[in-house]
Amino acid sequence: MSNQTEQHQFIDASDTKDVPPGKMKHVEAEEKEILLANTDGKVYALCDRCSHMNAPLSMGTLNGKVITCPMHGARFDVTTGKKVGEPMAPDPSKFPEPIPEGLQKMFARSAEIMSKVKTYDQPTYETRVEGNRVKVRM
């Protein structure tokens, strides 16, 4: 068996009952953080670190096949890993109460920095179900 084949073996990631339809789960394997997401009864696996600024996507929301990052709202299609929505910087002008000038400057600087950070498609991993186990190809 070649090294390349050994590097891409399916590893045991979860019991199927822990990833029911519409739910997500964070797992770790081979020094990678992986998001398992069940949409329409099929479990998909993506990198669980957002390609924008590393937030754990598994703490976001899953709506159909689209996951929204909990930190700045970038959106990704869990079936392909493709980015379908850009991150959004907080907009203090939409806050219900005025905020201090120092905080306004901090938000403005954060928005400027965020505008320079590119967001890419999420890496994905092949999955398969064997019995009641979800396997992910690493």
Which of 16, 18, 32, 53 is in the footprint of ligand FES by CB under 6 A?
53
Please identify, using beta-carbon distances, which residue of 8 and 109 lies nearer to ligand FES.
109
For residue 67, the minimal CB distance to ligand FES (Å) is: 10
**Taking Cα atoms as reference points, which of 29, 11, 14 lies closest to residue 134?**
14
Q: Which of 71, 84, 89, 111 binds ligand FES (CB under 6 A)?
A: 71
Q: Can you say whether the dihedral through the CA atoms of 80, 86, 90, 92 is positive or negative?
A: negative
Alpha helices in 8-130 (DSSP H): 101-116
Which residues lie across from 137 on neighbouring strands? 10
The span of 46-54, 91-99, 105-113, 130-138 binding ligand FES (CB under 6 A) equals 46-54
The answer to whether the CB of 36 falls within 8 A of the CB of 20 is: no
What is the C-alpha R_g of the chain? 18
24 binds ligand FES (CB under 6 A): no
- Contact residues for ligand FES (CB under 6 A)? 50, 52-53, 55, 69, 71-74, 87
